[in-house]
């Protein structure tokens, strides 16, 4: 008598599921490994901590950053930090953000042009490190709704685009948009004068036709390209010179204006913007007068 061939029975739904006991009421919740620390702006505190660790040797030994008046930056509440801007690849932003975050233990969000966000890989790292697209609505939400420190450079790309013979001569602060944002958000403007960035990557010439063809704000030829680039190749062109940094925080500027108004006096906005620009300019001239050398401060 032939034996019957065994058949495979498809189990009914749930037939082979093993019951998992419910966790005890007082048990610690399990950490979800899929959770991310990236906030709504793209900033990651883990990435930012890594960036601080990597930048610390530059900050401490390469730039030897020295602050004056750091206590004038609020330890809580929103404030708009405004500084002069320089270097073909700006070095002032990372120095300011690093110094405040390590000394005051407050995060800083840096506003920058859309160009940074579009850069492959670097754009993502920029966002993870606290970079935010420069837009009035973004600044307002960070300042008014989230009480954060926000860093802005009113010179825009005109600052890094300056050639070395124009160093430390501030360009126009746009149309004073940063003042209007501060008024609307009800926060002070904290001016910061920075000496050292101009010499960290001096622009010897600007190739305007090339910049226009590439859709860039400027196309610089820097001393770093001729020095480090010749020795280290393309990556060497992005290395800053070890210029001594000095940063002076000026008195916060408060505005006697009601926040959240639909509009503010254009003439007052422009007057306040120019007054802040002049304060930073005078501070720079004073710091340069007492500076011993580019390398020793």
CATH code: domain of residue 78: 3.40.1130.10
> Does 165 map to a domain?
yes
Which comes out higher in pLDDT, residue 234 or 72?
72
Residues with Cβ within 8 Å of residue 84, at least 6 apart in sequence: 92, 153, 155, 159, 168, 170, 192, 193, 194, 197, 280, 284
Domains of the chain: total = 1
Chain centre distance of CA 194: 15
Distances (CA, A) of 18 to 14, 27, 30, 91: 9, 21, 20, 58
Read off the pLDDT of residues 59-109 as tens digits, 9 standing for 90 and up. 999 999 999 999 999 999 999 999 999 988 899 999 999 999 999 999 999
- pLDDT attached to residue 101: 97
- β-sheet bridge partners, residue 109: 150
> Does 218 map to a domain?
no
> With contact defined as beta carbons under 8 Å apart, do 45 and 114 qualify?
no
- pLDDT attached to residue 74: 96
**Cα angle value 125/242/103 (rounded, 5°):** 60
Query: What is the number of other CB atoms lying within 10 angstroms of the CB of residue 231?
Result: 8
Read off the pLDDT of residues 13-36 as tens digits, 9 standing for 90 and up. 444 444 545 555 565 555 544 467
> Does 297 map to a domain?
no
> Does 232 map to a domain?
no
> Does 23 map to a domain?
no
Q: Can you tell me the mean pLDDT for 218-231?
A: 86
What's the whole-model pTM score?
Answer: 0.84
Read off the pLDDT of residues 197-216 as tens digits, 9 standing for 90 and up. 999 999 998 887 887 887 77
The boundaries of the domain holding residue 65 are: 45-201+240-289
């Amino acid at each position: 008598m032939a034996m019957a061939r065994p058949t495979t029975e498809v189990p009914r739904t749930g037939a082979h599921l093993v019951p998992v006991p419910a966790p005890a009421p007082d048990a610690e919740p399990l950490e979800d490994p899929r959770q991310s620390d990236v906030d709504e702006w793209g900033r990651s505190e883990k990435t930012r901590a890594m960036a601080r660790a990597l930048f610390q040797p530059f900050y401490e030994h390469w730039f030897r950053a020295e602050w004056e008046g750091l206590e004038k930056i609020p330890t809580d509440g929103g404030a708009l930090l405004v500084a002069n801007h320089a270097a073909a690849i700006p070095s002032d932003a990372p120095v300011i953000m690093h110094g405040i975050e390590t000394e005051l233990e407050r995060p800083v969000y840096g506003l920058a042009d859309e160009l940074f966000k579009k850069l492959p890989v670097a754009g993502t790292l920029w966002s993870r490190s606290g970079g935010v697209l420069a837009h009035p609505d973004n600044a307002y939400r960070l300042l008014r709704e989230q009480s954060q420190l926000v860093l802005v450079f009113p010179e825009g790309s005109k600052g890094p685009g300056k050639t070395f013979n124009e160093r430390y001569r501030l360009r126009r602060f746009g149309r004073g948009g940063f003042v209007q944002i501060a008024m609307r958000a009800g926060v002070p403007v904290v001016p910061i004068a920075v000496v050292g960035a101009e010499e960290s990557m001096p622009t010897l010439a600007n190739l305007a036709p090339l910049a226009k063809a590439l859709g860039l704000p400027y196309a610089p030829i820097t001393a770093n390209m001729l020095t480090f680039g010749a020795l280290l190749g393309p990556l060497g062109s992005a290395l800053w010179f070890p210029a001594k940094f000095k940063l002076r925080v000026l008195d916060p500027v408060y505005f006697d204006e009601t926040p959240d108004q639909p509009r503010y006096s254009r003439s007052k906005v422009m007057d306040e913007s120019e007054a802040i620009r002049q304060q930073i300019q005078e501070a720079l001239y004073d710091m340069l007068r007492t500076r011993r050398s580019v390398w020793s401060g």
